Structure 1
Amino acid sequence: MISENGNISIHTENIFPIIKKWLYSDKDIFIREVISNGCDAINKLKRLSSIGEASVDENEQFKITVAFSKTNKELRFSDNGIGMTAEEIKKYITQVAFSGAEEFINKYKDKIDEGNQIIGHFGLGFYSVFMVSDKVEIDTLSYQNGSEAANWVCSGGTDYTISSSGRTERGTTITLHISSDSEEYLDEFKLREIIKKYCQFMPVEIFLVNEDKEAEKTENDKDKEQVKPEPLNDINPLWLKKPSECKDEDYKDFYRKVFFDFNEPLFWIHLNVDYPFNLKGILYFPKLKNEMDMVEGQVKLYNNQVFVADNIKEVIPDFLLLLKGVIDCPDLPLNVSRSFLQKDSTVMKISRHIVNKVADKLLELFKEDRKKFEGFWKDIHIFIKYGCLRDEKFYDKVKDIIIYKTIDGEYTTLKEFTEKIATSEENKNKKVYYVSDELQQSQYINMFKTNNLNALVLNSTIDNHFISFIEMKESNISFARIDSDVTSELKAEGESISEEDTKALEEIFKNNIKDKKVQFKFDALKTENVPGIILISEQSRRMWEMSKMYGGLENMGFNDEKTLLINKNNNLIKSILANKNNDSKKEALAIACQHIYDLAMLSQNQLSPEAMTEFIARSNALIEKTID
């Protein structure tokens, strides 16, 4: 007969208020901790049975039952695991931070398969129940032959009572008498939600029972054939299987079930590592509708199938968090609440390994089916570029498979592209022209295409940063937007502007254009039908865009640094030059110069509302004159 009163053995007088209020950042976690302890108790029994130190019926169904009663304000967790004796309760429960899991591992480490880990490490998880309880009871019977069932009661202070129990079934039941400020944990929907979140893949089946509904059942209800209850969790998640055992549809089903995303993923990476650390998981590349969908994804971190947290950046580098997936790593060093990771060499190695596996998968896709890889590019290019910016080792692995879309609609690597353009004197240093807006820069694109020239399309928000990064990494490559300069291939051969004509044209345009900040350049272009185009310095534009992004330099005037290139090969320009001294044509010359400037600005979408109003009025007047 057991009967004993005692005090919980602690070294800090005020540890209970700390445990109750500050041990966990999220009160819901107490459910994970208690269920995890139940899983440990069952797994310990299985291990002992496997080495002949415990007797278990081979047909026994191991399970954890979570039962609740709003009427009685009780929440109950039951398992049919190893159980405890009164002495073990005193040893493992009443001595805070003495972990039974840790001692069990040390005692049986030579007899247990290391692949089957015990969840608990710290011995504090149990005390999370006091965050929501006024009183806690433990009713338990050990697996050991001849053991006496014991009952432990504690009301949230350091005093407890141990007495004999009438329990006849092996295992443990923990009953929480829920405090008035925590009664939301007696709601069936909330309990299901929490169990699904934290325990969805725990290795023991978990069942939820509403004791109030069970008590309301009539005798007729009880006589009816009962529907077999379904566990709330999947004890064999897909990531534990070998990749060779999994079909494409298995991966897609798992993706839908875990992330509630009914768009099929593009592809996935199945991680399955046993050495030098234990790491399993699946990372998915999601399909995006547009660039705005590229927000932080969801990578769930598990420890022995127990959910720890989403998107822990110490393990999953931030650029990989654009993906969706699950990572299970029992070797991660967790702190007391399992919510954050300690930074150490193991974490760094695991993180590096994950990054390398992602890079290897991308390389494999590129080499095995480039067309398929190109089809994925619009969905994955931001992820890859961001990864390169954040992790130079990742860039070093994937730099040769970074592809770019051209204005011809084809995909090319930078090496392939520069080898094709490095035929002219100008491109010995591999100057790469690019387009940031295919519609706005269509006039420049047409000039390129007419002259059999090519350019890259770099139109995402990350590309400004990325091209600067590439220029830094590849010293012989420079990027210039298609409207920043005129390549020699666009200039008419043998055509030149005399100094006299240049001065005359510059004077005419300066006198007749309202924008006095614009600079002038004069050339003869192969494209005869374009009288003038706007050129914007690449470096000035980059500085302006950067200042706009980060603030503080918007009004420095970088965006005002534009040049109007006058095409001497255009008939209108030739006519202006021919009538430079014709006084009767002064008004017509003024209208033509301003109109040429406005048309060039329109191709850049840079006309102000006032200038646009004037342009429309002038255009209408010119149309009227053609009819008259």
Structure 2
Amino acid sequence: MEKKTGNVSIHAQNIMPVIKKWLYSDKDIFVREMVSNACDAVTKMRIAGGEDDYQVHVEVDAAAKQLRFIDNGIGMTADEVERYIGQVAFSGAEEFLKQYDDKEKDGGIIGHFGLGFYSAFMVASKVTIDTLSYQPGAQAVRWESEDGMTYTLSDSDWDRRGTRITLDIAPEEEEFLRPFRVREVLERYCAFMQTPIFLDEIKPEGAKDDGPKADEAKETAAPVPVNDTHPLWLKNPSDCTEEEYKAFYRKVFREFEEPLFWVHLNVDYPFNLKGILYFPKLRQDFGGMEGQIKLFSGQVFVADNIKEVIPEFLMLLKGVIDCPDLPLNVSRSFLQNDGYVRKISAHITRKVADRLTGMFNTDRPSFEKYWPDIHPFIKYGCMRDEKFYERMKDVLLYKTVDGRFLTLAEYTAQNGEKAPDKVLYTSDESRQDAMIRLYRDQGIDVVVLDTPIDVNFASFMEYSGQKDGKLRFCRVDADTDALKAQDAETPALDAEALTKLFREATGMESLKVELQALRDEQLPAMLVEDEQTRRFKDMSRLYGEKGFSLPDDFTLVLNSRSALVSALAGAKDPQRAQLIAAELYDLAELSRAPLSPQQMTAFLSRSMRLCELAVGND
């Protein structure tokens, strides 16, 4: 054929600068687009029939400053090249830009799909296509362009069925002439495409060999593709072994620590959805912690952590989701409002909940073993997703201070008579040990809620997690109802005089003091803080609201059954009574929180003085 020159489109001059500007930070997607086109050509050839050994090769030729994409797919004739490049591919690029322009303010197009062949011009100063159609008697064709706007079409000496696309890499884009960089991009976008992909480094003639042993190894070792054409998520879950799941996790996420367990999604109806979600060991404080959910469409990587498709709370997990029917080249807001996508998201949530509840019902010991590692994720999911909570509410566990795990129903059944409508908890077992012991002596279980999420979760369970709203979570130092002695004889003490004594001893004019008959006669005093006030202060600290604070709302509870309190009420030496009262207050304070440096200095000095008085050195 005679050499022919043509223009792609009168609009082409407007497209290339915009492509380079908008996709500057994601220019490596051209590799995905080139390889995807090559795989599509192979698929068409496979459908048409023919050989089985289909391959895609990516050649890095640093000496020639070229990157080549070669396939043994269906190939193209001259007419097909003009139609594909000038009409189909260009129209796709035009539509891509139209969508991108409309949705730029929406956060862009997920994955930047649809740009296709013209993505090559983001990094190339010249693009050459050599192709030979599978049709009998076809003539090989060459298409060349330096700007994507004008081109030449001529005969080619390419003698193999399929297509070779050669990119002359622009000087400022020579990072794509490094094999390591190209492999990195292939492993990101093309790791699971359906056709074997090989990365070849072309060395210049006369380059030094690595020695005879290396030559021998090259002759005997078969080339290894960079991709896995049959990823684990496509297999039937019953055919997968535990080691396969773990090996896949290590390979995809480059993790050395093994996952706790996983959920294998395998759905064909009402939509095609496959994938594997892994539960990693979560930090107790997962603020800022993010997992990694890789979204695929027909084994082609789309993007990480698309929260419009995958429920937000699942982002703490690691996994892969493959949904071939997922609409691509659309904005995030479109996905967010698309009914089909919402069904996919809801189904993923349900399968995760089913896996967890199934483990609880069939293998509770394992569920309890994993609970310390997964409970932050489950609690977060319950607060973020109502349907997830509805499925999980009966299997939520609470660990007691003696190491047992109870559901809410089990806790209330065992403790309801002694602590009706309450869940007693500790946020610091060591510091609140004295209070825990008091409840343990009454046969009341105390559960441990000591992670940052528990402040919010307790409030959620009180106001959103139950229909009647009666149940309350109370820290062990926020409530004395269960500690009161019932029908016990107590001495009549002057509450007003004791209040005055402790206010003068502590210098707190507004200190609230109450006399109560507590079961434990050895406990003279305790500080009680209103649960809601303290919880609000905890949340303020958690979210860093330094400019806002609530005043302390403590009540000093004096045990009227304590011999020490009775002695204070009848003390004849006002100075000594004030020393003891101040000491009792600090001891009560120490049982719930550290003393300030000034308080500690005064406490130590006072303790020494009381020791001196005790041995008669006054």
TM score, norm. by length of structure 1: 0.89
Match of 2:281 among 270, 284, 287: 287
The one-letter amino acid of 1:450's match is D
Q: Which residue of 2 aligns with 1:167?
A: 158
Partner SS state of residue 361, structure 1:
helix
Q: Which residue of 2 aligns with 1:611?
A: 599
Relative to structure 1, is the Cα distance of residues 23 and 306 closer, same or farther in structure 2, using a 3 angstrom cutoff?
same
Match of 1:296 among 290, 296, 316: 290
Q: Which residue of 2 aligns with 1:532?
A: 525
Relative to structure 1, is the Cα distance of residues 337 and 174 closer, same or farther in structure 2, using a 3 angstrom cutoff?
farther
Work out whether residues 534 and 564 of structure 1, in 8 Å CA contact, stay in contact via their aligned partners in 2: yes
Work out whether residues 499 and 512 of structure 2, in 8 Å CA contact, stay in contact via their aligned partners in 1: no
Match of 1:147 among 132, 138, 157: 138
Q: Which residue of 1 aligns with 2:579?
A: 591
Q: Aligned runs of 1:168-567 on 2, under 5 Å? A: 168-212=159-203, 216=207, 224=216, 226=219, 227-288=221-282, 290-292=284-286, 295-335=289-329, 343-424=337-418, 427=420, 430-473=421-464, 474=466, 475-491=469-485, 493-496=487-490, 498=492, 501-550=494-543, 555-558=548-551, 560-567=552-559
Partner SS state of residue 57, structure 1:
coil
TM-superposed CA distance for 1:3, in Å, is: 2.2
Partner SS state of residue 271, structure 1:
strand
Q: Deviations over 1:421-466 (max 9, x none)?
A: 2225x61xx1222111111211110111122111221111111111
* Pairs aligned (count): 593
Q: Which residue of 2 aligns with 1:63?
A: 55
Relative to structure 1, is the Cα distance of residues 218 and 523 closer, same or farther in structure 2, using a 3 angstrom cutoff?
closer
* Separation of aligned partners in 2, 1:595 and 1:137: 88
* Separation of aligned partners in 1, 2:112 and 2:439: 66
* Separation of aligned partners in 2, 1:307 and 1:609: 57
Partner SS state of residue 90, structure 1:
helix
TM-superposed CA distance for 1:207, in Å, is: 1.2
Q: Aligned runs of 1:110-149 on 2, under 5 Å? A: 124-149=115-140
86-95 or 220-229, larger mean C-alpha shift: 220-229
* Separation of aligned partners in 2, 1:307 and 1:339: 20
Work out whether residues 496 and 523 of structure 1, in 8 Å CA contact, stay in contact via their aligned partners in 2: no
* Separation of aligned partners in 1, 2:524 and 2:112: 77
* Separation of aligned partners in 2, 1:24 and 1:553: 40
TM-superposed CA distance for 1:99, in Å, is: 5.7
The one-letter amino acid of 1:30's match is F
Partner SS state of residue 216, structure 1:
coil
521-530 or 370-379, larger mean C-alpha shift: 521-530
The one-letter amino acid of 1:9's match is S
* Separation of aligned partners in 2, 1:435 and 1:219: 66
* Separation of aligned partners in 1, 2:35 and 2:48: 20
* Separation of aligned partners in 2, 1:193 and 1:278: 29
* Separation of aligned partners in 1, 2:500 and 2:328: 74
Q: Which residue of 1 aligns with 2:98?
A: none
* Separation of aligned partners in 2, 1:313 and 1:370: 31
Relative to structure 1, is the Cα distance of residues 436 and 30 closer, same or farther in structure 2, using a 3 angstrom cutoff?
same
The one-letter amino acid of 2:55's match is K
Relative to structure 1, is the Cα distance of residues 230 and 561 closer, same or farther in structure 2, using a 3 angstrom cutoff?
same
Q: Which residue of 1 aligns with 2:70?
A: 78
Partner SS state of residue 308, structure 1:
strand
Work out whether residues 2 and 150 of structure 1, in 8 Å CA contact, stay in contact via their aligned partners in 2: no
Relative to structure 1, is the Cα distance of residues 342 and 382 closer, same or farther in structure 2, using a 3 angstrom cutoff?
closer
Work out whether residues 145 and 152 of structure 2, in 8 Å CA contact, stay in contact via their aligned partners in 1: yes
* Separation of aligned partners in 2, 1:292 and 1:540: 25
Gap runs ≥5 in structure 1: 50-55, 103-119
User: In the alignment, does 2:562 pair up with 1:570?
Assistant: yes
The one-letter amino acid of 2:353's match is A
* Separation of aligned partners in 2, 1:24 and 1:155: 19
The one-letter amino acid of 1:364's match is G
Relative to structure 1, is the Cα distance of residues 491 and 587 closer, same or farther in structure 2, using a 3 angstrom cutoff?
same
Relative to structure 1, is the Cα distance of residues 520 and 122 closer, same or farther in structure 2, using a 3 angstrom cutoff?
closer
Work out whether residues 315 and 350 of structure 1, in 8 Å CA contact, stay in contact via their aligned partners in 2: yes
Work out whether residues 456 and 539 of structure 2, in 8 Å CA contact, stay in contact via their aligned partners in 1: no
Q: Aligned runs of 1:98-109 on 2, under 5 Å? A: 98=91
* Separation of aligned partners in 1, 2:548 and 2:210: 82
Work out whether residues 64 and 207 of structure 1, in 8 Å CA contact, stay in contact via their aligned partners in 2: yes
Work out whether residues 99 and 122 of structure 1, in 8 Å CA contact, stay in contact via their aligned partners in 2: no
The one-letter amino acid of 2:575's match is E
Partner SS state of residue 203, structure 2:
helix
Partner SS state of residue 136, structure 1:
strand
Q: Deviations over 1:393-430 (max 9, x none)?
A: 11011111111111232111111111222225x61xx1
User: In the alignment, does 2:79 pair up with 1:87?
Assistant: yes
Q: Which residue of 1 aligns with 2:6?
A: 6
Work out whether residues 357 and 392 of structure 2, in 8 Å CA contact, stay in contact via their aligned partners in 1: yes
Work out whether residues 422 and 473 of structure 2, in 8 Å CA contact, stay in contact via their aligned partners in 1: yes
Partner SS state of residue 201, structure 1:
coil
Work out whether residues 497 and 522 of structure 1, in 8 Å CA contact, stay in contact via their aligned partners in 2: no
Q: Which residue of 2 aligns with 1:53?
A: none
Partner SS state of residue 491, structure 1:
coil
* Separation of aligned partners in 2, 1:586 and 1:83: 104
Q: Deviations over 1:8-38 (max 9, x none)?
A: 1365651121123325741111111111111
TM-superposed CA distance for 1:526, in Å, is: 1.3
Work out whether residues 20 and 131 of structure 1, in 8 Å CA contact, stay in contact via their aligned partners in 2: yes
RMSD: 2.6
* Separation of aligned partners in 2, 1:123 and 1:501: 84
400-409 or 6-15, larger mean C-alpha shift: 6-15
* Separation of aligned partners in 1, 2:491 and 2:403: 36
* Separation of aligned partners in 1, 2:262 and 2:502: 60
Work out whether residues 68 and 209 of structure 1, in 8 Å CA contact, stay in contact via their aligned partners in 2: yes
357-366 or 141-150, larger mean C-alpha shift: 141-150
Relative to structure 1, is the Cα distance of residues 270 and 240 closer, same or farther in structure 2, using a 3 angstrom cutoff?
same
Work out whether residues 284 and 376 of structure 2, in 8 Å CA contact, stay in contact via their aligned partners in 1: no
* Separation of aligned partners in 1, 2:523 and 2:192: 66
* Separation of aligned partners in 2, 1:598 and 1:219: 77
207-216 or 464-473, larger mean C-alpha shift: 207-216
Partner SS state of residue 587, structure 1:
helix
* Separation of aligned partners in 1, 2:333 and 2:518: 65
